[in-house]
Amino acid sequence: MNPRPLDTVVDLYRDLTKLSGLEEQLAGIPDWMQELHEEYSARKAEIDELQAAVDAAREERRAAETETADFEEKLLHYQEQIGLVRTQREYGALLQEIDLVKASIKELEEKALGSLELQDEAQKKMDEGSAPFLEIEERYSVELKKWEAQKPGVREEVEVLQARIDGHKEGLSAGQLLVFERVHLRLAGGMARIVPIQPNKGPLMWHCAACHYRVRPQVVAMIRRDASIQQCDSCKRILYYSEEEEE
């Protein structure tokens, strides 16, 4: 006996949901690794940031030291010129240049010293955090290898699901499949369960679990008795009834 159209649509919806979850899992990190992944990523970001600070301070210090050497060479050249000046004006101008060069050297030496202190501070923090990070990195590596070993099984499950999904689609008419695919893509899955409510112990009524719009009794009957494909009058999702979910 062929399954009824609504049963096929519900199976298709559930398998597509499972497939989406597995594909998302394969593209990222499984739930059981998520907490460790977040901790590892946060610690690694801290270490990388400190390493970047160490590298930047080192480069800044080297640049300052190189520039200092250039100014020291210029200072030596000016000092050698002192004995060659002939006028007081030339002497005063040369002394002014020497003072400017000495001021630049002092500024660069202070900059180099400040960069060295920043480098040492960042290196100290990185050294202090390296041992805890290595412990987390080791645990993460073990769990990652475990996940890599599980991936082939997940991929097989994806293939099985894909084959089932293809079978579900073949079991629907072109029109039924078109309706499902249209609402599935547009409306967050495209399916909604009908849920019974009995306000103030009055008559039993049914509503759409997605938008809470009241479902007409005749529509409920067609869904529960005939398993025909019916859409919510409000949100247009395909409605279904599940005793398992109801329980």
Q: Residue 229: exposed, middle, or buried by beta-carbon count in 10 A (0-12, 13-18, 19+)?
A: buried
pLDDT of residue 244: 67
Tokens for 174?
A: 């072109």
- Residue 190's H or E segment, with its range, is none
5-170: CATH topology is Helix Hairpins (1.10.287)
What would the DSSP string read from start to end of 86-120? -SHHHHHHHHHHHHHHHHHHHHHHHHHHHHHHHHH
pLDDT of residue 97: 93
CA–CA dist 232, 230 (Å, integer):
7
pLDDT of residue 138: 95
CA–CA dist 226, 211 (Å, integer):
23
**Other beta carbons within 10 Å of 116:** 16
Cβ-proximal residues to 17 (8 Å cutoff; 6+ apart), any chain: 189
Contact 66, 33 (CB under 8 A): no
Instruction: State how beta strands 214-215 and 205-208 pair.
Output: antiparallel
Question: What distances in angstroms separate CA 220 from CA 91, 195, 226, 235, one per listed residue?
Answer: 106, 10, 10, 16
Sign, CA torsion 68/73/74/79: positive
CA–CA dist 201, 94 (Å, integer):
103
Ordered by start, the domain boundaries in the chain are 5-170, 176-246
pLDDT of residue 231: 94
Contact 210, 237 (CB under 8 A): yes
* Tens digit of each residue's pLDDT, the chain (247 residues): 457 899 999 999 999 999 999 999 899 888 899 999 999 999 999 999 999 999 999 999 999 999 999 999 999 999 988 888 889 998 899 999 999 999 999 999 999 999 999 999 999 998 998 889 999 999 999 999 999 999 999 999 999 999 999 999 999 999 999 999 999 988 878 999 999 987 777 788 999 999 999 999 999 999 998 888 999 999 999 999 987 655 4
pLDDT of residue 245: 58
Question: Can you tell me which residue has the tokens 């099984």?
Answer: 153
